[in-house]
Structure 1
Amino acid sequence: MSGISPLDLLSDLVADARKAGAEAADAVLIDSASLSVGLRLGALERLERAESGDVGLRVLIGRRQAFVSSSDRSKAALAELVERAVAMARAIPEDPYCGLADPADLARDFPDLDVCDPDEPAAETLIDMVRAAEDAARAVSGVTNSEGAEAGWGRSGVAIVASNGFSHAYAVTSSSLSVSVLAGTSAQGMERDYDYSSAVFLADLREAEEIGHEAGRRAVRRLGARKVATRQVPVIFDPRVARGLLSSLAGAINGAGVARGTSFLKDKLGEAIFARGVRVVDDPHRRRGLRSRPCDGEGIATRTRAIVEDGVLTSWLLDLRSARQLGMRSTGHASRGTSSPPSPSASNFYLEAGPVTPAEMIHDISEGFYITDLSGQGVNGVTGDYSRGASGFWIKGGELAFPVNEVTVAGNLKDMFLNLTPASDLVLRHGIDAPTLRIDGLMVAGR
């Protein structure tokens, strides 16, 4: 069916599903293209370009729904798609919470979010970037080897049409550049570190030389790392790892988990989960935001929300299904692919900056731990228990004293959130962001 627009193709598909017996239906089309390069020790190791396209159809008959997807857009394939979807919907068990959005809740105005870079970069452009990044990293004194540099670009076009009257299409792009190097020797010990940048527009990436130099500097300053004795101390989370705590929060307030009763925050709506003054924002309308979107995956209008206001949890992240389970309204957080039901997810999610600088935050710590890297997946979303491998720097007398590795940081996220203090250095770079964070009283387990 070449030559037909995505919205027209989906409109015909939804109409055909209705004719075949579906009481309601929606369809999603996603076309993607990507370009990636990888280089190590000056030699090009990977150059790939890929394109893909997929069409997904959801049909509803009563309280039954079925999903079918296909990469074949021929007339015969789409007819078979409709036939299979309707047959499946008649056979599967009922879901009392499924259904399309009420037309009154659909997005009507779509803000210009500037989330699509109109120009695809040439492969040579990405190759020049990775070469410059790796060269800058290897030029740092003490760097002895490289794990390589990578750059990528991607574009996705999304179209959604539903029988409730919703119809919209938009496109998003992303670009990235990263480099990872090793410092030291086998005799003295070796350390690895990295740096990276990601953005909607290629031109908004940090300079390749800056990324490379920072990766090299980080690796070298980790040389001579050692364990410390087990103790309970104030812990500082560098912004690079602090955003992981925000990811844990986003998971804990995901409506699907809350409805199942599998979140450690399931009973905390309307209660203080952070200290007073702490504010967490979800902003789907940030211009050139990596997770910005003009509407959610079910056509619901999106808006900026203070998820945490003055320390109090004010909202879950809800799609239609989880909202119905909880007796609430969708918050416009549905995301979806072509072959599975919508599910809630955060957009541009960040913890607002506090009043003190990172240096001021560290200044009064006689002994503590500054974390620059975390490993392992030791976060229990049901209980909030937190235990992860960590490396970074020991703090003595308010200053970074020496590098530390092979330790574990442990606590419980409910207590960690309540005792969290944000610094003033928030930079919105990744889609989920946080400033430097201080949490007192965490257990650091070493020797």
Structure 2
Amino acid sequence: MFKKILIANRGEIALRIIRTCREMGIRTVAVYSTADKESLHVRFADEAVCIGKAQSSDSYLNVQHIMAAAEITNADAIHPGYGFLAENANFAEICAKYNIKFIGPTPEMIRSMGDKITAKETMIRANVPVIPGSEGLLQSVEEAKGLAKDMGYPVIIKATAGGGGKGMRVVWADSEIEHAYNTAKIEAAASFKNDGLYMEKFVEEPRHIEIQVAGDQFGTVCHLSERDCSIQRRHQKLVEESPSPFMTPELRQKMGEAAIKAAAAINYESVGTIEFLVDKHRNFYFMEMNTRIQVEHGVTEEVISYDLIKEQIKIAAGVPISGKNYEPKVHAIECRINAEDPYNDFRPCPGKITTLHTPGGHGVRIDSHIYAGYTIPPYYDSMIAKVIAVAQTREEAINTMERALSEYVIEGVKTTIPFHMQLMRDPAFRAGNFTTKFIESFKLL
């Protein structure tokens, strides 16, 4: 087992990793930017090293500085968390070169799933359902028009190196395709330094359901059931839950088997997530694989009583997994609390937290790095907390979440708590009648 792990991340995920490491008797090293000097992950790690200025490019994305911090602290492994360098194959490669274990999959696995076209081709060979679309990258507007005509509108143009909704355009008619193609190409180049585009049939009224998987160094792969991530805004997840209210036992079995096939196709090692779009007829299609721990991993941990960070560390250390597939034992819902103004088009709202009271009680878990007096910096993602409510049934979990949110007091900055409060009371949400388009027609009162 590792003696010391450097955490190449910040905020709540850095704290989450520190907690598991402490339980496992592993020392930790926090790295931080000048903007994060007063952060809790710096305070609670065994050691801390400043790696640069506030901008991510100068700190959390600065591979040279992170590797230097690992060297001077004698860390024998690096946990990347999520975001930043978590799915950077070059970073994983550099870790291997300097004999520091990257806690995650190999560089080859990251690359095979990081490029959407390569991932889709891999899934087709593994007999995993994929959305009909282009066989490779689009070469011209004319090719895009011809393919869209063959498939039938609507279609969606996507960046091959994309994520977070960038470089993505839905096209409903032939007259729209040239503009969509050109703007997606420009956005993809600016966001990912890669302007490659591909096209898929646009699935209407979809659910976004993902399957958590784990694979070890000995070829064993299992699935840890599903999470429903359909409540999202501009392709950014807002609420996640397990089990999905749309799921049936038959669908869970089929999607679980497909997820195992997908992970096994690349001999996947570590924890990861296979993301699917599911149409209203419960046909499901592979969308992408996230080769890292995800923001919403706590939802799965609660419904199957399973520490995913601990499992990730054990897999990296060469410990075999059981190979057992899991089903949810209870119901869990997670609300992402962002420092944003929901009454002003969710505008980011960094600043100082003057007053803080966190909810508690049975069935409530809070993953957060904020405290009274903490200043939320403007340089990073606006998520400041995750509230997870757990109960025997979905209705009870929603009631627990509504109660927890009513107790959550964060003053000094605007947050998305009012949005989540209203969502928990919404009749359609409570009935489980929603798709990925639900928030587009949701009016905040």
Q: TM-score, normalised by structure 2?
A: 0.26
Q: Which has the larger radius of gyration?
A: 1
**Larger RCO, structures 1/2 (Cα 8 Å, 6+ apart):** 1
Q: TM-score, normalised by structure 1?
A: 0.26
More helix by percentage? 2
